[in-house]
Amino acid sequence: MKDLNIQIAIKIYDYEELSAADRELMDAARQATFRSYAPYSHFSVGAAARLANNTIVTGTNQENAAYPSGLCAERTTLFYANSQYPDQAVETLAIAARNERGEFLEEPIPPCGACRQVMLETEKRFKRPMRILLFGEKGIYELKNVSALLPLSFDASSML
């Protein structure tokens, strides 16, 4: 028997400690939450992706009366980015969320498992790390790549 310990590194920033570019991206994610369509959960999520060409693309969660037909903000953002700019890597993805009281979350917003999988595919597709910024009022988590968010992940290489 052996142990395998996988460690992930997270940097925690105050908003003021972020670079101007990261503040701009996080502001875009926070603003996007106000364009969320969340009549069922009242949980408003916004994401903003900075592409290699410096374009910022945003997205929000889009719910549906047939619940599984809706989609998370992270995936609406990445699918739109990859549809509009298929040759542009995503350098950084910032995510923010507000609760049913309309308040930004105290703790950093963790992406769901399905979004992590899509984020991983985006990172693998462009063969370069995609930084992740997760907004929380108490601190902003920075992960240097998606693998840190999804250790022991399944990707195309798993099928070889």
Alpha helices (H) along the chain? 20-32, 73-84, 113-126
Over the window 91 to 130, marking each residue x when it contacts Zn ion by CB under 5 A and - when it does not, the resulting string is ---------------------x--x---------------
- The verdict on whether residue 64 carries a ligand-binding annotation is yes
The number of angstroms, rounded, from the C-alpha of 155 to the middle of its chain's C-alpha atoms is: 18
* Binding map of Zn ion across residues 50-79, x = CB under 5 A, - = no contact: ----------------------x-------
Nearer to Zn ion, 18 or 119 (CB): 119
Nearer to Zn ion, 18 or 47 (CB): 47
57: its two tokens:
């693309």
State yes or no: 54 annotated in a binding site.
no
Q: Is 115 annotated as a binding residue?
A: yes
> Do residues 97 and 104 touch, judged by C-beta distance below 8 A?
yes
Is 29 annotated for ligand binding?
no
Taking the complex as a whole, how short is the minimal distance between the CB of residue 64 and Zn ion, in angstroms?
Answer: 14
- Torsion of the alpha carbons at 69, 107, 30 and 74, rounded to the nearest 10: -30
Supply the residues annotated as catalytic. 74
In angstroms, how far is CA 39 from the centroid of its own chain? 21
CA distance 36 to 60: 5
Task: Please give the residue whose beta carbon sits closest to Zn ion in the complex.
Answer: 72
Q: How far apart are alpha carbons 104 and 95 in whole angstroms?
A: 11
Beta carbon nearer to Zn ion, 28 or 72: 72
**Residue ranges in contact with Zn ion by CB under 5 A:** 72, 112, 115
